[in-house]
Every structure is written in C-alpha cells, then in structure tokens.
C-alpha cells in the first residue's frame, strides 16, 4: 500500500535504536542509567490522585465530557492570575491532551501548504512535526552557545520575516535548558508586531527554573496578548504526564480556531482528569517549589560531576534537561555514534542531538530523571569506561 505523503515526511523514531541497545545490555546484566526520555520520576501529589480516584467512582464521569467544565476554566483563570499576574477570559482557554498533541495540531490551524513558519533550532521534535503535518515550510532560527541558546530575532532576514505566518518560541528550552529574559521577550513581541507574526509559546517548564529565577508566562509581558498564545502544561509541574493535561491560552481568535479543530477529533477531556486538573490548579504549590529545588540538585550533580571528569558542559538554567557537547574525539563522527558507544561502555543513556533539528548535531541531551546519588553513579561509570579519553 502507498501511504500518505504526510506520514512519509517523518523519519524513524530515534528512541527505538536506543531502546533495543538498552534491552540487550539489560539481558547481559549491565546496570543502566536511563536519562534519555523526559518522564518525571517524582510522586504526583496525593490530593490530586485522591480527587481523580473519587471522581472516577461516579458513573456520570464516564460519559463524553464534550467541553471543558466551567469549574476547570475558572481554575485556569484563577491560576494564571495568581501565578503569573495574567488576566484571561473563558474564550481565551482551551484544553488539549498534552502539549505534544496541542502543538502537533496547531500547524493545521495556523498554516497552509507552502507557508513559512519560524522554528528554533535545536528544538523539541513535535514543533517540526506540526509544520510538516500542515504542509508548511520551516525556517530555522539558530539557538547557539554563543548567544546563550536564546533567540535573536534581529538575525532573521527581513524577507523571511515578511512571509512568516507564525513563530514558535520555547523558553525554558527543551533541549538546551536556556531561560528567557524580559529583554528577549520584549524583542520578540516587537518583532511580531512589526511583521504581523503570531507567536506560539511553549511554556511547559515555567516551574523548573534554577538559581532563584522566577518563571513567568509569555503573556505576562506587555503586548504579548495581542500577538500570541501559549501552551501551558501540568505534566512537569505536577507530575501528571500520563494524564495528558495542557491548555492553549491567549489570543481569543487563535484559541477559538484551535477549539474548532479540536472538537472535530476529540469529545473532551475525561471528567476525572478535569477534576485532577482543578485540584492541581487550585491546590497548594509547595511540592512544585520543592521539586524545582530537587531538579537543581540533579543538575548540579550531573553538570558538576561530568565537568570534574573532563566533560566540558555548562549548567542548564531551567527545564529538566541538560544540553552537552559530545566529546572532542567524536567530532568527526556524530551524536548517535557517541550515544551508542556511551550506553555500550558505561550503561548511560542520553538522546542524540540530531533528534532536535539542524543545529542539534554535535550535542546530546540528558533528562534529569534520576536522583543525585544515581547520577553520581552514572558519572563514575562514564569515568571508568574511558570514553572521555
């Protein structure tokens, strides 16, 4: 059978090869330190689990939801006001089944065949997937070490800016762990207004920012609501990854257009999951802050540990990821070769930078999903392997 051109645009899943290697080594009895996939290992707060379980006991909860409940919408409004100082209306909010799904579909809402979309590189792979699904063309703006892995809109050529339909911004960044500044956001907003470009901001990691910096919403900056929307996720802040709870918030016309598509392919978020989201948004945030502190401990153990054995990497400033250059002796090869050698010789699994777009090659991504003592074990295993030379 000849499959669609859409599905043929996607490459093979990179994690499949790593997983096969992992399974083979585990069968040989080798200790594995898996820091490839960003699945949090922290506990989901008890009050959230309790609410979901109780709601699931109610037979009425098992019907189609069809829409976001008024209580859920009000919880998002209240949370954004309390957490970010941002005022939202009900018509500026729509749930989605995780930002992966939301971002994957937003291209079909915003772009037509042949349109230009501005994407960061490196970037989270679904940003690229979304553009390909819409038949649009990505134009990659670089996020380089020389600029602190932050966007610099002044480097985008004017002819590209004039034909761009929308721009994806993701700060704190996955995979680089870079964190935006007020000056960066002000430049982006001014750029968007000048060229009539919509900003789609991925705000998955606003609660995982290190060294005393407070995470903010893109929409908290003056003028942002006129030019943008953002995806806000409960996955990482509250460890609800499997429940798939995110929201698209911001400019009303964009949210309503997204809602129009969403209602064609979904019958609404499972009601017990809506109740869990309400519990998260209206409940205590102590665990969120404590979790951020623990992520910073992991960052320090990984970055500091690897630097101590000769692997030169800079500290991540936010997110649950660390972005590291591959060792110099692998520069003539590629990041996938290094990842396969690393797991084979040390049992440590990370993700090749080539998975994250054109400028990802030459780097690897570590997910901070192991406690500090296990990370220190992983560092020692890499040291003993001799892979760093």
pLDDT tens digits in sequence order for the chain, 389 residues long: 888 877 777 765 666 677 787 888 888 888 999 999 888 999 999 999 999 999 999 999 999 999 999 999 999 999 999 999 999 999 999 999 999 999 999 999 999 999 999 999 999 999 999 999 999 999 999 999 999 999 999 999 999 999 999 999 999 999 999 999 999 999 999 999 999 999 999 999 999 999 999 999 999 999 999 999 999 999 999 999 999 999 999 999 999 999 999 999 999 999 999 999 999 999 999 999 999 999 999 999 999 999 999 999 999 999 999 999 999 888 878 999 999 999 999 999 999 999 999 899 999 999 999 999 999 999 999 999 999 97
pLDDT of residue 15: 67
Every domain of the chain and the residues it spans: 5-43+287-385, 61-282
* Bridge partner list, 141: 120
Cα 300 from Cα 256, distance rounded (Å):
42
Let me know: does 183 contact 154? Beta carbons within 8 Å: no
Could you tell me whether strands 348-349 and 137-142 are parallel, antiparallel, or unpaired per DSSP bridges? unpaired
Cα 171 from Cα 166, distance rounded (Å):
16
Residue 339 in tokens: 């990842």
322: closest CA among 333, 330, 311, 336? Answer: 311
pLDDT of residue 37: 83
pLDDT of residue 24: 85
CATH classification code of 61-282: 3.40.640.10
Phi-psi region of 334 (alpha: psi -120 to 50; beta: other; left: phi over 0): beta
Residues in the chain: 389
pLDDT of residue 243: 93
- Please write the tens of the pLDDT for every residue from 63-77: 999 999 999 999 999
Cα 54 from Cα 58, distance rounded (Å):
7
CATH classification code of 5-43+287-385: 3.90.1150.10
3-state secondary structure of 114: coil
3-state secondary structure of 121: strand
- What global pTM score does this model have? 0.94
pLDDT of residue 233: 96
3-state SS record for 61-76: HHCCCCCCCHHHHHHH
Query: Residue 167: how many CA atoms within 13 Å on its side-chain side?
Result: 30
381: closest CA among 337, 351, 349? Answer: 349
Residue 266 in tokens: 């979904």
Cα 306 from Cα 144, distance rounded (Å):
21
CA angle 363-368-374, nearest 5°?
Answer: 110
Are both 5-43+287-385 and 61-282 of the same fold? no
pLDDT of residue 12: 59
Cα 60 from Cα 234, distance rounded (Å):
24
DSSP at 324: E
Residue found by looking up tokens 């979304």 in the block: 130
pLDDT of residue 389: 79
Cα 186 from Cα 174, distance rounded (Å):
21
Cα 240 from Cα 158, distance rounded (Å):
41
């Amino acid at each position: 059978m000849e499959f669609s051109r859409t599905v043929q645009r996607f490459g093979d899943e990179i994690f499949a090869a790593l997983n096969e290697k992992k399974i083979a080594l585990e069968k040989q009895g080798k200790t594995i330190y898996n820091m490839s996939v960003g699945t949090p290992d922290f506990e989901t707060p008890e009050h959230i689990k309790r609410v979901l379980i109780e709601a699931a006991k109610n037979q009425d909860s098992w019907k189609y939801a069809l829409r976001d409940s008024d209580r859920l919408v009000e919880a998002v409004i209240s949370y954004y006001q309390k957490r970010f100082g941002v005022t939202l209306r009900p018509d500026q909010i729509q749930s989605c089944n995780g930002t992966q799904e939301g971002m994957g579909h937003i291209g079909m809402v915003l772009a037509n065949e042949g349109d230009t979309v501005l994407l960061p590189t490196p970037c989270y792979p679904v940003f690229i997937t979304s553009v390909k699904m819409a038949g649009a063309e990505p134009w990659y703006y670089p996020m380089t070490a020389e600029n602190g892995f932050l966007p610099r809109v002044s480097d985008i050529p004017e002819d590209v800016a004039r034909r761009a339909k929308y721009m994806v911004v993701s700060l704190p960044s996955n995979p680089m762990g870079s964190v935006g500044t007020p000056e960066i956001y002000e430049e982006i907003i001014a750029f968007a207004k000048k060229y009539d470009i919509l900003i789609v901001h991925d705000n998955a990691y606003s609660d995982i920012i290190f060294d005393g910096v407070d995470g903010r919403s893109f929409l908290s900056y003056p003028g942002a609501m006129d030019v943008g929307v953002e995806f806000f996720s409960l996955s990482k802040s509250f460890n609800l990854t499997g429940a798939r709870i995110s929201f698209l918030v911001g400019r009303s016309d964009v949210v309503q257009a997204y809602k129009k598509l969403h209602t064609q392919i979904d019958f609404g978020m499972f009601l017990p999951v809506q109740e869990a989201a309400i519990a998260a948004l209206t409940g205590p945030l102590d665990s969120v802050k404590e979790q951020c502190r623990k992520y910073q401990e992991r960052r320090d153990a990984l970055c500091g540990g690897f630097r101590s054995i000769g692997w030169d990497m800079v500290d991540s400033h936010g997110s649950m990821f660390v972005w590291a250059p591959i060792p110099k002796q692998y520069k003539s090869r590629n990041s996938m070769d290094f990842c396969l050698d690393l797991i084979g010789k040390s049992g440590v699994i990370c993700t090749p930078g080539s998975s994250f777009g054109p400028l990802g090659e030459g780097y690897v991504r570590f997910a901070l999903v192991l406690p500090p003592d296990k990370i220190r074990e992983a560092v020692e295993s890499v040291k003993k392997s001799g892979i760093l030379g």
